[in-house]
A and B are shown apart, each in its own frame.
Chain A
Amino acid sequence: MKAITWHGKHDVRCESVDDPEILNPRDAIIRITSTAICGSDLHLYDGYVPQMMPGDILGHEFMGEVVEIGAKSTLKKGQRVIVPFPIACGQCFHCSKQQYSCCDNSNPADKMDFGREQLGQPMAGIFGYSHLTGGYAGGQAEYVRVPYSDVGPFVIPDDSLEDEKVLFLTDILPTGWMAAENCDIQPGDTVAVWGCGPVGLFAVQSAFLMGAARVIAIDHFPHRLELAKKFGAETLNFEETKVYEALQDMTGGIGPDASIDCVGLEPHGLYVDNIIDQIKVSTFLGTDRGHVIRQIIMATRKGGHVSIPGVYGGFIDKFPIGAMMEKGLTVKTGQTHVQKYTQPLYTAIAEGKLDMTFLISHRMPLEAGPEGFQKFHDEQDTYTKIVLKPGMSEAKLAA
C-alpha cells in the first residue's frame, strides 16, 4: 500500500510499504477514505517530537471502511468508522474513569521506557505520533491496523453524512471541546484563546456554548482571526498588539477568567524568551518553547483556569511557577479523551448544530501528502486544513 512516511525534519515521503495485518484478536483493518493533516503533525515535521524513526507512517485523524476483523473485534466488514487518535483498551483503571488518553495498556511494554523517563509514566498509544506514544503506524495511508477496535472506532450510523462532516470527531473537534470544558466556564466568564488554528476555533465555539460572555482570540494570521470573529470572538493580532497589556485593559485590570493554550511547543513571534528557547531547542539544550504558556500564566486572572490542549513534549525553563502558585491558578491539561466525547458530538453534528466543514481549505490525493505538509507548514493562513483522499486521483478530486 501507499503511505506518508517521516524521514527527518521537513522530509516526508509517499512510499510503498507492506499492507497491515491482523495481529491480535481485537484488531481491525480499516481502508482509509479520508485523513487529515493535523497542526500537531507539524511538530513532527519540524522535528520537535523525540522518538521518531525514519519510515514511520504519519497521521492520527482518519476514517474509513472496515475491511478485515480479528476474532474478538465487534466491528463488521463494510462499516464506516471514525477512529479516535488515542488508542485505548477500555479495561484499565484509567479507561474506567473515561481518561482514555491515559490508557495503561495501549503503549506496548517494550516502548514504555522512554515515556517513563520523559514523563514519569508512559502515556497511551497514539496513531502515527512517535515511539514515545507507542510507535504505531498512522492513518495517512491506504490501510491501517487498529488495535482494540471494539473500544475506539465509532460506527457512523447515517450513511448520508459524508466523511468531511464527521472526520474531525477523531481529534480536533473533541480537543477544542475538552479544552473549553477544562476551563470550568461560568456564565458571564471571559475566556482568552491563544492560537486560532482548528482547535482554537473549536475552543472559541465551545466556550460560547458553555456560557462564556466574551471570548478573546489571539493569532497573527488574518484569515484565522476573521474566522474567530465570525464565531463572535473579539480578536488580537499579536504582531500588532501587546497581548498581556491589552488583555488586562480589556478585562478591566482583572485578566481573563480562563485561558486556553491552543499553540503548544512551537509559538511564533520575536520575543526574547522565544528566541532563547529556539536556540536551546536547536542545540538540544531544551525540548519545548514556552512563550505562550508563560504569557498565559501571567495574564490569567487570580483564581482563574488555564487549559492546555496544545502539545508539549518535554521540558521548559523560566516557567512562572510563582505566578501560577501565588495567583491560585487551576491548570488542566491533557491529550483528548476522544472516546468520551464521540457520541454527544456526533449527535450535535447529525442534528446540524455543529458544522466543521468550513475549515477545510484543500483536498488532495494521498500522493500529494508531502506537498500538503510543506504548504500547511509554510502557508497557514491559506491552508487552514488539508484532507487527503487515498485512492482518489487529482481529477476526481477536482470534479
Chain B
Amino acid sequence: MTDNSPPADDAPVAYSKTADPDRALLEEAVTIRRPANELYAFWRQQENLAGVMENVVSIEKLDDKRSRWTVKAPAGREVSWESVITNDIPDRELTWQSAEGADIANSGRVRFEEAGERGTVVRATIAYDPPAGIVGQLVAKLFQREPRIQTRRDLHRFKQLMETGEITTSARTRAQRENRNEDQTTTRELEENPA
C-alpha cells in the first residue's frame, strides 16, 4: 500500500461496509467463562464438535491433523469432505482448510483470546467458495438459511456445553426435542423453496 488511503479502523473485515460484498466470509465471536486451554483442547479434538454443531452428522478422525466431516443437506442428503488442520498454536489458534478436491471448498480459523474474569473470547472466521450448480445450492443450505446465524448458534451451544456441562433445550419431552429440530429444518426449506 503506497497510496494515501485512510488507515483502516479496528473492525473485523467481515463487517466492512465498503469491502466487496462477499457472502462467503463471516466472523462470529462468543465469550466463554472457561480458560482458553480447556476450550482449545475441546476444539482440537475435532470429533467433539459434532455434538455442538447442529447440521453435522459426524466428524471422523483420520489422523492427528485430518478429519472427515459429514454434514446434513436438505432432502435427506449428506455432503462429506476432508478437513486438514493447517496451523496449530496450542491454546491460541487453529486454522483448517478442506483438502484438495472437496465438493465444498472451505477454510476457517478459530482464535482463543484471554478475557480476564470473563474467560475467553472465541472468535471464528469462516470462508467458503460457493461452487456453481447443484452443489452450490446445497452449500447455501448447508449452513441453514444464513451461515452467520448457523455459526452463532453453534458457538453458543459450545459455550453452553463448556460453561454448564449441557446444551440447553426448552423442549418438554424427548419427542418434542427431536421434532423441534425437524420443524426448523422444514420451515427453512419452505422459506427457501416456496411451493
Contacts and interface: CB of A to CB of B under 8 A. Distances in A.
Interface of A: 17-21, 23-26, 57, 72, 89-93, 96, 104-113, 125, 134-137, 145, 147-148
A135 B179 CA distance: 14
B4 interface: no
B146 to A, nearest CB: 9
A18 B175 contact: yes
Contact of B172 (A18, A89, A106, A109): A18
Nearest to B168: A108
B18 interface: no
Contacts of A26: 164-166
A136 B149 CA distance: 21
A96 B119 CA distance: 12
Contacts of B184: 110
Nearest to B181: A110
Contacts of B181: 110
Contacts of A108: 168-170
B156 A111 contact: no
B61 interface: no
Contacts of B152: 109, 112
B123 interface: no
Nearest to A145: B172
Interface string B134-162: 00000000000000010011101101100
Contact of B119 (A19, A93, A109, A112): A93
A144 to B, nearest CB: 8
B118 interface: yes
Contact of A25 (B153, B166, B176): B166
Given A23-B174, A92-B163, A112-B156, A147 B168 contact: yes
B33 interface: yes
5 contacts: A20-B172, A21-B173, A24-B166, A26-B164, A109-B160
B31 interface: yes
A21 B178 CA distance: 13
A324 B26 CA distance: 39
A23 B156 CA distance: 19
A62 to B, nearest CB: 15
A109 B157 contact: yes
Contacts of A135: 170
A112 B150 CA distance: 11
A134 to B, nearest CB: 5
Nearest to B146: A113
Given A26-B165, A89-B164, A93-B118, A134 B156 contact: no
